[in-house]
Structure 1
Amino acid sequence: MAKKKRKKRKKRSYAAESAFHPFEKLRDSFRYKRSLYVITGIIMFAVLVVAAAVLYVADNYTVKNIEVDGNTHYSKDEIADMVMTDKLCHNSMFLSMKYMNKSIEDIPFIEKIDVDIVSKDTVKINVFEKAVAGYIAYLGRYIYFDREGIVVECSSETTEDVPQVMGLNFDHITMHEKLPIDEDHQLIFGEILDITQLLNKYKLHADKIFFDSDFNVYLYFGGVEVSIGKNDYIDEKIQQLQYQLPKLEGQTGILNLKDLNEDTKLFTFTPKN
């Protein structure tokens, strides 16, 4: 009899469990849905935060002012176009990440371009140009070289601030190597750059620099040929040009400065018919 009673109690226990089972499912379902709502709410909140952050950055970090320093071969607008290549680049925060520890290279006449973020709406573009002394015309192209005579650029176009150099003859030219000139005359490239820099200093632009067989220097400004002679007193000779060339505007002839020195300000102008 005792055994039968125990069996009956077990049956009642199973029945009770069966009765509560649907409630447990309902409770678990409620917990699942509540968790789902919480997760969905968190995701939506995160999306709203990100969207707000994106809108804030877009509104407050738009580039409005562009400063460019060190450019002579390219205008400010041309340099800006090289840096700000798409719409995203008009955002200073994106721009700072894009050019972080990185420079723009492989641009004709330019060594590199760095970008500094001055403020939320202002960037500064620093241009580092190659030290170009002059160019020569060779096989339909224009070959630019530095003060060491190393070819730094080959272009189909001329640039306004760099003079053409004539009187130097070559049988071949190789990019990024020295122009093949006699060893005895290697210093001529430094002389060319000195002349170019002095012309820039006094805001003068020579169309051509010509060297004769004895490496005497001649400069050409429109119809005026300037005989410089050797490199002696080159600073004084170029300085004198800033006073004489305006007087000779529109004329054609030879301005002889080869005998000018620090003591003798001797020069002559011979008109041409």
Structure 2
Amino acid sequence: MGRRLKFSNPKLKRILLAIAAVAVFAVGAAAFIWTKYEVTTVTVNGNRHYTSEQIKEIVMEGNYGHNSLYLHYKYRNKSDLNIPFVQTMDVDIVSPSEISITVYEKAIAGYVEYLGRYMYFDKDGIVVESTTTQARDLPYVTGLKFDHVVMYEKLPVEDDQIFKEILSVTQLLSKYGIQTDKIYFDPNRDITLYFDKAKVQLGSMESIDEKMAGLRDIIPRLGGLSGTLDMRDYTEDRGNAKSFFQRDDVQKHAAISENSIIDSVSENEVSVSGNS
């Protein structure tokens, strides 16, 4: 029969008992933290490019992803997340079972396409992101001339003042709730916006706020028409400001004023009548 192990050294016995007590306490504490701090409620703020569900999946991945204490310390002062468009995130403990995730996204003014990738830049023209994914909720800018792109450096365009114009245009698009497919700057820095089958010539930055305000009211009247809306000479203070729309398949122009609507479209012309 086997012998029972006896500890004749009282000091060793006390040490082993202390170790056992610490181990039991540690296991108990871990079990308490695991159950007490299990996340059941999550709120997400500051997210634009990702849905709240996507942010939850990103933050709460892994074996300990549902523990609020673990998440809080994991994302504390962490800035290099390697998540496209996200600068950093904070995870705050509202209660042991509830966390609040605050997303701080990179400030992006627009993006260009280069060698099959989309290069996203900030208000100063500095490239802050490069992906193969096109973000439809951000302005796609074309017409800029450059021969190379370096991450975290400014796009090497001839005149970097154009980035101020891009920022102004994108801010006004947001202000008036206008969603455009593409912004084009020609060699003279005149601006053209693209909407499905139609394009809008805004011209220079002169009276750009008034042009955008007028465009907001005009866009619904164009419907699915294919053609060009000329707003290069549009100014709101002319009283009866007009823009001209030319369909691609005809040579006639339709004058669209603030008091007129498109009331019929035939094969050969666009008919416009007054609202009054």
State the shift of 1:70 in Å: 1.7
For the pair 1:59 / 2:35, whether they are aligned, the reply is yes
TM-score between both structures, scaled by the size of structure 1:
0.78
Pick from 107, 123, 128 the counterpart of residue 83 of structure 2: 107
Q: Which of 146, 159, 183 pairs up with 1:170?
A: 146
Give the superposition deviation at 1:204. Answer: 2.2
Contact kept? 1:103, 1:115, Cα under 8 Å: no
1:102-160 CA distance string (max 9 Å, x none): 34433222222222222212222222222222222222222222221112222212111
Shift of 1:87: 2.4
Matched, 1:247 2:221: yes
Is the partner of 2:144 in helix, strand or coil?
coil
Paired residue for 1:266?
242
| Separation in structure 2 between the aligned mates of residue 76 and residue 154 of structure 1, nearest angstrom | 23
State, as a whole percentage, how many aligned pairs show the same letter: 42
The DSSP-based 3-state class of the residue aligned with 2:146 is: coil
Q: Is the 8 A contact 1:116 1:123 kept in 2?
A: yes
| TM-score normalised by structure 2 residue count | 0.77
> Are 1:123 and 2:91 an aligned pair?
no
In structure 1, the residue matched to 2:177 is 203
Q: Could you tell me whether the CA contact under 8 Å between 1:132 and 1:193 is conserved in 2?
A: no
**Which residue does 2:26 correspond to in 1?**
50
**What does the per-residue CA deviation read over 1:15-50, in whole Å, with 9 as the maximum and x for residues that have no partner?**
xxxxxxxxxxxxxxx995988887766655544443
Q: Aligned to 1:268, what secondary structure does the other structure show?
A: strand
Residue-by-residue CA offset, 1:74-109 (whole Å, 9 max, x unaligned): 222222233223121210012222233334433222
Change (3 A) 1:262 1:240: closer
**Cross-structure match for 1:230:** 204
Q: For 1:63-142, what aligned pairs fall within 5 Å after superposition?
A: 63-142=39-118
The question of whether the paired residues in 1 share the 8 Å contact of 2:110 and 2:121 is answered with: yes
Equivalent residue letter for 1:192: I
Runs of 5+ unmatched residues, structure 1: 1-29
Q: State the structure with bigger RCO (CA 8 A, min sep 6), 1 or 2.
A: 1
Alpha carbons of structure 1 residues 162 and 44: separation in structure 2 relative to 1, 3 Å = same
* Residues 88, 103 of structure 2: 8 Å contact kept: yes
* CA distance in structure 2 between the aligned counterparts of 1:103 and 1:166, rounded to whole angstroms: 31
In 1, Cα distance between equivalents of 2:16 and 2:130: 61
| Structure 1 residue matching 2:237: 3-state secondary structure | coil
Structure 1 runs (4+) deviating above 6 angstroms are: 33-41
SS in 1 for 2:78: coil
Cα RMSD, aligned residues only? 2.5
Structure 2: which amino acid aligns with 1:83? V
Other structure's SS at 1:241 match:
helix
Matched residue SS, 1:169: coil
C-alpha separation between the residues in 2 aligned to 1:119 and 1:104?
27
Contact persistence 1:104–1:113 (CA under 8 A): no
Task: Show structure 2 runs of 5+ residues with no match.
Answer: 1-5, 250-276
Q: Aligned partners of 1:103, 1:120: CA distance in 2, in Å?
A: 24
Inter-CA distance 34–166: structure 2 relative to 1 (3 Å threshold)? closer
- Given that residues 114 and 126 in structure 1 are in contact (C-alpha distance below 8 angstroms), is that contact kept between their aligned partners in structure 2? yes
Bigger proportion of residues as strand: 2
Instruction: Flag the structure with larger Rg.
Output: 1
The 1:224–1:47 alpha-carbon spacing in structure 2 relative to 1, beyond 3 Å, is same
C-alpha separation in 1, matches of 2:209 and 2:98:
40
1:253-272 CA-partner distances (Å, limit 9, x unpaired): 22222222241233222222
Structure 1 residues 42 and 130: alpha-carbon distance in aligned structure 2, compared to 1, 3 A threshold: closer
Count of residues paired in the alignment = 242
SS at match of 1:89: coil
Q: Distance in 2 between matches of 1:214 and 1:120?
A: 59
Match of 1:193 among 148, 154, 167: 167
Q: CA deviation at 1:62?
A: 1.0
